[in-house]
Structure 1
Amino acid sequence: MAEKDDDKVRLDKWLWAARFFKTRALAKAAIEGGKVHCRGERCKPSKEPKVGDELLIRIGFDERTVVVRALSAVRRGAPEAQTLYEETPQSLAAREEAAAQRKAGALGLQTDGRPSKKQRRQIQYLRDYKPD
């Protein structure tokens, strides 16, 4: 899988090739939005990941910690893309636990429905309130 240009590849291109994002534009937007950290720090889309780097990737509710195992600038099938990285066991356990909590509704906000007219007025009063 390693070609001669695969020793240097942009982070946004690697994330796209590893199938974390459907397009490079989405990968770039996620990196610029602070959703991807390399070695614990925010990075730029042009960062060149190295084999052994640890990446923290947030996609929606999921947060994955992966270790780069191979570099590729070419998007291939999912089985080949999964060989580019290895997810840490702690990350896998945390994702499964979070998914179970979401499924059980533990993280969701439970309400009695829409606020009444009186409750809306109280909310508006609190929003407009300015202490002296």
Structure 2
Amino acid sequence: MTRVDQWVWAVRLYRTRSIASSAIKAGHVRLNGDRAKPASPVKVGDEVRVRAEGYEKVFEVVELLSKRVGAPIAAQAYVDRSPPPPPKDEFFGAFGDRDRGAGRPTKRERRELDRLRGQ
């Protein structure tokens, strides 16, 4: 068995083990539906859910890794069962971006942008 913080770091879901441990303590990682602790054991067949970038990624453990490996080998250690990411709202993007070099919005332009964004 391997610790969950070691496994998510080894399969490159987090850049460092300390970041992985902090994310687990903050409740961003679930193991088989339950909130995990950094030292929770991971077994083959377990489901690991990682909340990142506004949506949840779901992984099934296929191989146990305790040391960080290259990306192609790490990708073989899990099966990604994540639903597709939500589509980006094209309407919001069209009005939320400013042209490069347009400068800072005026007070009137900022109010119009806020009104379009629904704030």
TM-score range normalised by the length of the shorter chain: 0.7 to 0.9
Q: Normalised by the size of structure 1, how large is the TM-score?
A: 0.67
In structure 2, do the counterparts of structure 1 residues 105 and 75 end up closer, same or farther at CA, with 3 Å as the change threshold? farther
In structure 2, do the counterparts of structure 1 residues 113 and 42 end up closer, same or farther at CA, with 3 Å as the change threshold? same
Aligned-residue offset at 1:106: 5.0
Aligned-residue offset at 1:62: 3.8
Aligned-residue offset at 1:92: 3.8
Aligned-residue offset at 1:14: 0.5
Alignment of 1:46-125 (within 5 A): 46-88=39-81, 91-93=82-84, 95=85, 98=86, 100-101=87-88, 104=90, 113=110
Aligned-residue offset at 1:71: 0.2
Deviations 1:20-52 (A, max 9, x none): 000000000110001000111101000111100
Q: Which one has a larger percent strand, Structure 1 or Structure 2? A: 2
In structure 2, do the counterparts of structure 1 residues 101 and 74 end up closer, same or farther at CA, with 3 Å as the change threshold? same
Return the index of the structure with the highest Cα Rg: 1
Unmatched runs of 5 consecutive residues or more in structure 2: 97-108, 113-119
The alignment yields a C-alpha RMSD, in angstroms, of 2.3
Alignment of 1:5-20 (within 5 A): 8-20=1-13
Q: Equivalent pairs: percent with the same residue? A: 35
Q: Which one has a larger percent helix, Structure 1 or Structure 2? A: 1
How far apart in 1 are the matches of 2:39 and 2:55? 24
In structure 2, do the counterparts of structure 1 residues 46 and 105 end up closer, same or farther at CA, with 3 Å as the change threshold? farther
- Structure 2 match to 1:42: 35
Counterpart check, 1:31 vs 2:24: yes
In structure 2, do the counterparts of structure 1 residues 77 and 41 end up closer, same or farther at CA, with 3 Å as the change threshold? same
Q: How many residues align?
A: 99
- Structure 1 match to 2:117: none
